[in-house]
C-alpha cells in the first residue's frame, strides 16, 4: 500500500482458483478500464492444453478476486487481449481464437469460437499465419501475430461486438518486414485515479479542474487521403471524430479511444474544398476547418 510517505505495507493474497498446471506462461493483460486481469498457462508434456484465468482487480486496495476460467485440451496457445470496452476477452490457441464475455454471471459458459486458422502461408511454406500474441491498438482493433516468420498480421475489426460479429480478418494487414511472434502492449496511461468507492489517490500530479478540450489535424491543407489527429479527451471518456461537407452532410466518422491521443486516418476520396472537422465527447465539442487541395 502506498501513502504520501511511501510504501506503508507489502502483503500477499491467496485467490480462490484451481492451481494451474506448470507449463509455459502465456500473455498476461489488464483490461483498459483497470478492473480486470487475465493470464494464460499452457502445457505440452503429456498432451497439449491451456487454460485462461480471469480475475477482478480493485485498483484501490490492489486485491484480486476470481471471476472464472476456461480450459481447452489438445492444443495450446499464448495470445490474450481485452476489447476496448473491457467486456470481451479474446485468447488464441495456435489454430483458433475464442471470445469470453467477462460481464456474464457465468463467464465459462460464454466461451465462443470466433475464428479458425484457414491454412494461409506466404511467401514460403514455413510462413504460415497461425494465431499467436495479441495487441489492442489505439484504434480499438486487436492485432494478432503468428509463431512463424510472416509479413501478414491478423486483426479483429470490432472487438466490442459479441461472437463472430467481432469480425476476425485473417492475414489482412501486410507489414513492410517479417515479424516473428512478438507483439507490442501498453497500458492505459490516461486511466487516472479510481475514486468510485472513496479510494484516496496519491499522485504527484494535480487534477485539472476543468478539462481543456481541443484537438489538431495535420497536414492542413492536405493533398491526399491521409490525415493525422492529435486530441485530448476527458479522462476515461471515448469520443468521435467527424468530417462534414459544406452542405452539413456527414461524410466521415471515426471512434476515438480514451487511452490514446494520436490517430492516423485514411479518409475517403474528398473533392477539393473546405470541410468542417468535429470532435465530440460527452458534452464537449470542438471544431476546425480542413482544406483539401486537388
Please indicate, yes or no, if residue 197 is contained in any of the structural domains. no
**Do 100 and 226 share a domain, yes or no?**
no
Contact 67, 56 (CB under 8 A): yes
Cell numbers representing residue 85 in the block? 470496452
What pLDDT digit, counting tens, does each position of 145-186 carry?
999 999 999 999 999 999 999 999 999 999 988 988 887 666
**Do 101 and 229 share a domain, yes or no?**
no
* Higher-confidence position of 188 and 155: 155
Q: DSSP string of 17-28? A: SPPPPSSEE---
**Do 135 and 261 share a domain, yes or no?**
no
Average pLDDT, stretch 214-220? 90
**Do 43 and 121 share a domain, yes or no?**
yes
Q: What is the domain extent for residue 142?
A: 14-179
Range in 138-152, 202-216, 256-270 with the lowest mean pLDDT: 202-216
Please indicate, yes or no, if residue 207 is contained in any of the structural domains. no
Longest CA–CA span in the chain (Å) reads: 67
Number of domain units in the chain: 2
**Do 174 and 222 share a domain, yes or no?**
no
**Do 143 and 242 share a domain, yes or no?**
no
Q: Alpha-carbon distance 176 to 245, whole Å? A: 35
Please indicate, yes or no, if residue 249 is contained in any of the structural domains. yes
Q: DSSP string of 62-108? A: --EEEEEEEEEES-----EEE-TTS-EEEEE-BSEEEEEETTSSSGG
pTM score, two decimals? 0.77
Please indicate, yes or no, if residue 204 is contained in any of the structural domains. no
Q: What angle do CA 188, 137, 83 make, to 5 degrees?
A: 75
Please indicate, yes or no, if residue 111 is contained in any of the structural domains. yes
**Do 38 and 167 share a domain, yes or no?**
yes
**Do 41 and 134 share a domain, yes or no?**
yes
Please indicate, yes or no, if residue 255 is contained in any of the structural domains. yes
Residue 78 sits in a domain of what CATH number? 2.130.10.10
Residue 284 sits in a domain of what CATH number? 2.60.40.3080
Strands 134-136, 142-144: parallel, antiparallel or unpaired by DSSP? antiparallel
What pLDDT digit, counting tens, does each position of 73-130 carry?
767 778 899 998 899 999 998 889 999 999 999 999 999 999 999 999 999 999 999 9
**Do 124 and 46 share a domain, yes or no?**
yes
257 burial level (CB within 10 Å; 0-12, 13-18, 19+):
buried
**Do 159 and 230 share a domain, yes or no?**
no
pLDDT exceeding 70 applies to what percent of the chain?
Answer: 87
**Do 267 and 169 share a domain, yes or no?**
no
Amino acid at each position: 500500500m502506498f501513502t504520501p510517505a511511501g510504501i506503508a505495507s507489502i502483503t500477499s493474497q491467496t485467490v480462490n482458483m484451481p492451481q494451474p498446471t506448470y507449463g509455459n506462461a502465456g500473455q498476461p493483460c489488464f483490461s483498459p478500464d483497470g478492473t480486470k486481469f487475465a493470464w494464460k498457462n499452457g502445457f505440452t508434456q503429456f498432451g497439449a492444453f491451456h487454460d485462461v484465468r480471469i480475475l477482478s482487480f480493485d485498483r484501490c486496495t490492489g486485491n484480486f478476486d476470481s471471476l472464472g476460467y476456461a480450459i481447452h485440451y489438445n492444443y495450446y496457445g499464448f495470445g490474450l487481449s481485452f476489447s476496448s470496452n473491457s467486456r470481451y476477452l479474446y485468447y488464441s490457441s495456435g489454430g483458433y481464437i475464442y471470445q469470453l464475455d467477462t460481464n456474464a454471471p457465468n463467464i465459462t459458459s460464454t466461451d465462443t469460437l470466433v475464428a479458425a486458422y484457414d491454412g494461409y502461408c506466404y511467401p514460403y511454406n514455413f510462413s504460415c499465419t497461425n494465431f499467436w500474441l495479441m495487441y489492442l491498438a489505439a484504434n480499438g482493433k486487436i492485432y494478432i501475430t503468428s509463431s512463424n516468420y510472416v509479413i501478414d498480421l491478423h486483426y479483429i475489426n470490432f472487438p466490442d461486438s459479441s461472437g463472430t460479429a467481432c469480425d476476425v480478418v485473417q492475414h489482412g494487414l501486410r507489414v513492410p518486414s517479417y515479424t516473428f511472434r512478438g507483439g507490442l502492449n501498453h497500458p492505459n496511461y490516461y486511466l487516472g485515479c479510481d475514486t468510485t468507492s472513496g479510494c484516496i489517490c496519491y499522485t504527484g500530479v494535480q487534477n485539472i479542474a476543468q478539462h481543456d478540450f481541443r484537438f489538431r489535424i495535420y497536414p492542413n491543407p492536405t493533398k491526399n487521403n491521409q490525415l493525422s489527429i492529435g486530441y485530448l479527451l476527458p479522462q476515461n471518456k471515448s469520443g468521435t471524430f467527424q468530417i462534414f461537407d459544406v452542405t452539413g452532410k456527414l461524410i466521415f466518422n471515426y471512434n476515438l479511444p480514451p487511452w490514446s491521443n494520436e490517430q492516423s486516418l485514411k479518409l475517403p476520396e474528398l473533392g477539393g474544398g473546405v470541410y468542417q472537422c468535429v470532435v465530440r465527447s460527452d458534452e464537449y465539442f470542438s471544431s476546425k476547418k480542413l482544406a483539401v487541395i486537388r
